[in-house]
Each structure stands twice: as structure tokens, then as C-alpha cells.
Structure 1
Amino acid sequence: MQFKFFSLLSLSFAATAFGQAVPDLVTLLGDTSELSGLLSLVSTFPEIVSALGAAENITVFAPDNRAFETFTKMYEARNITRESVAALLSYHVLNGSFPSTVLSKTPAFAPTYLGAFGEYPDFKNLTQGDSQVVKAVIEADKPYVYGGIGMRVSISDTDVRFTNGIVHIIDSLLAPPMSVSLTAEAANLTALTNALVVADLVSTVNHLNSITVFAPTDAAFDAIGSATANLTKEQLGEILTYHVVPSRAFSTDLEDGMEVETVNGNKLTITIEGADVYVNGAKVLMADVITNNGVVHVIDNVLNPNNTDDKPGNGTATDEPAFPGATPTGSATTSGALATATGSAGKMGMSSMLVVLIAGAFAIGMMA
């Protein structure tokens, strides 16, 4: 399944205009006072500076000093590895010149340099040839870029030119993508996280390459509490694997009437009604949460592999569950089979800690 990147409308955009001096990247960072924090960090990675200097037609999302101020203090206290920081920097560089003029209300997915300076499997676990991406979009007439865990970052200044590309200044660092299980945990999808543990599928879903996961909310699991209360591990696994498609499909790849095969062999049907997207009868509530091995779309119902003909109802988020006769039995996160999960959704290593620090710094910056 193919997905759409930014349209390369103007690779010549970053070319030097006749008679006009354009600085190289390091000079630009040095001449821009609000980017001194980025310059200080980049300067400790001469190999990256050299590689970017030799690259052509690149785009850099440059976090401003406010973004770095809180992060740097937290980063120094946590002893994050150089490898993780190199991955972080490479995730802010796009492989292509993408001026602001290509941004629109339709999400665009731009390939990054993540993986160009090392493997970094914690942040990029994709099929060979697939690039790790960021999502860029116009929302409420303002430009934004999304990294991992669905974290939205504002683009405060656009199209600052340097010799071999352009810079867009952003107000926070982009969080690199994490595993599916850690992303679900960060998104407070507690019932799904517990279900993966109960079904012993955490490692499986985290190690698949280039996948799409349709992730039900806690309320979706609550609504079918009676149907999941006495499931065996194998039965729960059948339900969960029906939510996983073995290819990466962003929202822009989904088409009305499309059928996609899931990991368990059964098919899902995509329906598009105006601005609303459905998978079988479940409505997509949040699309395009980028993970290290694909993408997650959050949905309002649990999909039933024994009810593949389930269709959208009245177009609201309150359609009947795909499990006929199922009733709520209290919170799925506090009672029933999914509340008895023991174990972990994933190891919080140094790379994951880096993402947590970025999210923490972002939250502190929002409160400032």
C-alpha cells in the first residue's frame, strides 16, 4: 500500500537567487538568535553537520530556544545517550525541499533523515525502503507538524533559506515515534494496552514492520465488557489481530469502499462519508498517530472478526458495538479480564525516556 508524501512542487525553491548571498546552515543558525540552542546541540555532532552540509534540497524543522531551554535541563539530568540525541536531530530533517506553500488542510507525510546516521530501531522499525515520516498540515489556518505520540508542534516561522535547503522554525522539539504499545500507553488507551498484555501480543505488535493499527478507545472496550469478560487468551488475540493491517496506511491512503486484509486473515472495509472515516462500523476519532513501525488510528468501537459485515450506523460516535448483545460491565480498565493484566506494555529505555522528556518539556512550555 503506497502513501503520499509532500508534493515536490519546487525543489528549486531553496536554490540561490541570482545576486543574493544565502548562508550555509551553520551560519544561518549562528545568525539567528532564537536558534542558538539548536546550534549548540548540533555542534556536538560534527558528523551530522558534515552530512547535512553535503546534502541537497533538505528541510530542517528548527526548534527555537524556548523549546530547548526546558528540554536541555531535563536531558542533562537523565544522561540520554548520544545515539538517541542523534536520532532526535535526524528526525527534524526532511529528505526534500518542502516550502510552506505545499502545506494544506490535507495532511502530508514527509520522509525524514531518521535512520540516515544509524539504525535507531527504537524509533524506526519499518520495512526496508520505507522512510520514517512527520505529518504536516494546516489546522485552523495555522501550520503544524506532528511527530510521534500524536504531539502537535506549531510552525512559528517558515521558509528561512540556506544554501542547500530551507528552515521552518518550530516552538517545540518533535517527539520521535515509539512502539505501538508505548504509544497506546502514552495516549491513555489503557484497555488496549492491558489487552495486548493479556493476549501476550505486546512483543508481536511492536516488532511487526510497517503496520496500521486501528486502536479502540477505553470507552469502546467498556461498551462490550460482557463480551470480553471470559475470553481466553487466544480468543482475545483473534480480536486484537483483526485490528492490525500488515502495511502502513495513513489517512490519505484510505479510500471509500477499500478492503484491507488484517493480520488474522479477515478483511476490513473502509467507508468515507464526508469528513468522517469508518473502518467497518467504527468511526476514526484520531488519525495518523505515527509509531516507530507504522501508524495508529484511534477508533470508537472494537472490531469483531466474526462480524466483518458491520457497517456505519447513524454517523455518530455512538453506533451500536460490533458485538451483538454485548453490554457494559463497568470500566474495562478497572474490572473484568482486561483489568487483570500483569506485565508491561514495553520497556522504558533511554530512547523512550527521550520522548517522555520532549513531551514533558512541551507540556511545561505550554504552561509557561
Structure 2
Amino acid sequence: MSITPFWSRSILSRLYVLHNAIQSSVSVPEITQLFSQNITFFLPTEAALNASITSGKLNFSSNAYNALSFLTLNGSYHTNAFSASRNFYTTNSHDLMSIGPSLLPNYTIQPNLFEIYSGLTKATIVSQNIQCSNGLIHMVDNFLQPANTPLITISDLAELEYMEGLLKSLNVSDTVSGINKTILAPTNEAWAAANGSSLPFGTLIHNLKYLVIDGSYTSDMFLSREPVSYTSDYRNMPITIQLQQGRLSVNGAAFIVKTDIMTTSGIIHIIDTVLSADAILESTRSNASATPSTISSNGGTNDDRSTTNKMPLDSYSMASLSYSNSVHCIYHYLLICLIAYFCY
């Protein structure tokens, strides 16, 4: 995707700031090579681009090549490729971004509007499928950045400061560091309401493990109106999520209040309540022990040991039983005789 043809197109003609910055970059050869390939480029709008340069997220004296590589995919991806479902894509910087149809706040899917998730950043495609000689451009309304590890991501979120403190002070960050995991992270207020800092160490570990689901699940995968069970890292106990009246409910006891924060090893969703793993485990055990025995056809239970459940014996079995009883009686008679002989 050569740079010169880009700037001849009207939609990009006003983005001279990027063109001029590239020409002054120390990475001109690498950037030129990148844009000479067949790629899909998620080009930030002028406002987003200027904001990224002002904030230092895009610095042409140091990180320009890596930053721009992250905004490109190898090959041409028309938005039709993103419309069926949300998927993960590997960028030319070897990081992941999630692209798919947008969700409204009430979790209604917008099939013709597309959103990109990456780390703490999200962007909407505001202009689609701009054809170039060697690829496609999609203009986005935010400057996207790569994801970080789960612990760094939690540390970067003000609403998870309490959880960050627990993980670091107790040296238990490994509970959220697994590969391909979805973390349900309670807010500061949720931990405070649960007296998180006063919980016994074992209880805290159980709660943290229970809040980690095996697999990477973006919020569009939770849209069932019936409870769907997912496997947690605490004793493989199930955790259920469903869509209820426009909100995502967890175990019927908590709600997801912020969704789809990508990490290098999965996804974080923020919830408004700390779920007690031990209480849920005890409830599960109680429900299991309270399950009644099944009733048999004769009115007894399947655990009934009474003769009502025994099959009648046929003539051969009766004869065998009679013979066995006779042998048993003879054996006892001989034993009594031997005892009498030795005693007297």
C-alpha cells in the first residue's frame, strides 16, 4: 500500500500530519515497506491521530513503526469478513485485536456497524472499505493500542485499584495470569462491600479463582436469555451468565458493568459484586444431598433393600438354594461334634 496514492484520495487528503510525520520518522524505510504490502489499514481519523501524537501514544521518533504495524492486518479484509461474528485477528505487529459487529448498551447487535477491541482501547469503523492499489483502508475513531498482561491491565484501570492491591500485596497475581482466560473483575466498591481485605487468605484465593473462566469470551458470546454455564478455575465449578432485561447477569447475583477489555491472554469484564466461591460450593453440595431418591415401580425407592424388589426364584434356583441350605446344616453339625470331642 504505497503512501503516495493514499494522499491523492479525498478522504485522506486532510491528514497531512501523518504523511509529514512519516517522512520525518527515523523508521521511514520500515514504514514504507509496511505500506507497500497487501494490507488492511485501520487509519485513525485526524482528531484521533492528533490526540495520539499529543499524548505520546504515537511517537515518530521512537515507536512509529510498531504503532503503525499494529494498525494493519496482512491481506485485504472487507467489512463483510467482520459481519458474521466477532473474531480475533493477528496484526502485523504479532498482537491480537478483536473485530466484529458493534453492540448497543442493551446488547443489541448492530450488523452494519463494526467495532475493534484492543487492550484498553476500542474503536468504531466510521468509514469502510476504502480501496487502494494494494489493500483496503477502514477509518476508525480512536487510536488503537496493543493489549497488556492481565495484571498490568488491571493496574491501569482505576475501577480495579482494590483488586490490584489484593493481587500484589498477597502475591497472588498468578490467579489471573492463565492463558486463554476470561476474568470477571469486581469493582472497588464491590470488594469494599465484601470486606475484601479482611477475608481469610484461603477464601480470597477461592473467590479470585472462581472469577476466572476457562476460555476467551467477548460479551457478544453471552447473549443467551437462558443461563449458560462456563467452567471456572476454582474446582471447575460452573459460573452462569445470561442476558436479563438488557443486562448481563452472572449467577443471578452480579451484573457485568464494563465489557471486553482485552489482555495478552484473554478478556476482562468488570462486575459489580464479589461472588463467594465457598458459599456457592456449599450451596451446590446442599442441593446435591437434598436430591430425593427416585421412586421404583412398586412404591419403594431405588435404594430400598427390602424383598419387594427381589425377583422370584425359578425351580432350578429353588433346588440350588435347598441344596446349599442342606450343606450348610451338615457343616454346622460336624463343627459342633468336633467342639464337643475336644472339650470332653
- TM-score strictly above 0.5: yes
Match of 1:247 in 2: 215
Summarize the Cα distance change of 1:203–1:224 in structure 2 as closer, same or farther, 3 Å threshold. closer
Matched, 1:232 2:164: no
Q: Does structure 2 retain, via aligned residues, the 8 Å contact 1:238–1:264? A: yes
Deviation of the 1:216 alpha carbon = 0.9
Looking at structure 1, the residues matched to 59 and 134 of structure 2 have their Cα atoms a distance apart, in angstroms, of: 34
Identify the residue that residue 36 of structure 1 maps to in structure 2: 16
RMSD of aligned C-alpha atoms?
A: 3.5
Verify the 8 A CA contact 1:276 1:283 in the aligned structure 2: yes
> What does 1:309-348 correspond to in 2, within 5 Å?
none
1:270/1:310 CA distance change after superposition, 3 Å: farther
In 2, are the aligned partners of 1:94 and 1:112 still within 8 Å (CA)? yes
What residue is the counterpart of 1:296 in the other structure? Answer: 268
| Displacement after TM superposition at 1:279 (Å) | 2.1
- Judge conservation of contact 2:175–2:208 (CA < 8 Å) in 1: no
Give the SS at the match of 2:202.
helix
Q: Secondary structure at the match of 2:56?
A: helix
- Change in CA separation of 1:276 and 1:101 when aligned onto 2, cut-off 3 Å: same
| Structure ranking higher on relative contact order (CA contacts 8 Å, 6+ apart) | 1
Percent identical among aligned pairs is 21
- Is 1:111–2:89 an aligned residue pair? yes
- When structure 1 is superposed on structure 2, of 88-97 and 162-171 the one drifting more is 88-97
Partner residue in 1 for 2:240: 269
Flag the structure with higher helix content.
2
* 2:166 paired residue among 170, 195, 218: 195
Of Structure 1 and Structure 2, which has the larger fraction of its residues in strand? 2
Could you report, residue by residue, the CA deviation over 1:118-158 in whole angstroms, capped at 9, with x for unpaired residues? xxxxxx5xxxxxx4434552659894634435434344422
Shift of 1:205: 2.5
Aligned to 2:325: none
**Correspondence list, 1:141-156, <5 A:** 143=113, 145-156=115-126
Paired residues of 1:35 and 1:62 also in contact (CA < 8 A): no
Structure 1: runs of 5 or more not aligned? 1-23, 117-123, 125-130, 312-368
Q: Is the 8 A contact 2:82 2:99 kept in 1?
A: no
Evaluate the alpha carbon distance shift between residue 107 and residue 221 of structure 1 in structure 2; reply closer, same or farther with a 3 A threshold: farther
Q: Determine the C-alpha separation between the residues in 1 that align with 2:185 and 2:74.
A: 30
Shift of residue 110, structure 1, vs aligned partner = 4.6
Q: Are 1:172 and 2:137 an aligned pair?
A: no
Partner of 1:283: 255
Q: CA deviation at 1:298?
A: 1.1
Query: How far apart are 1:286 and its partner, in Å?
Result: 1.8
Tell which structure's C-alpha radius of gyration is larger: 2
CA deviations over 1:178-200 (Å, ceiling 9, x no partner): 22223223332122212212331
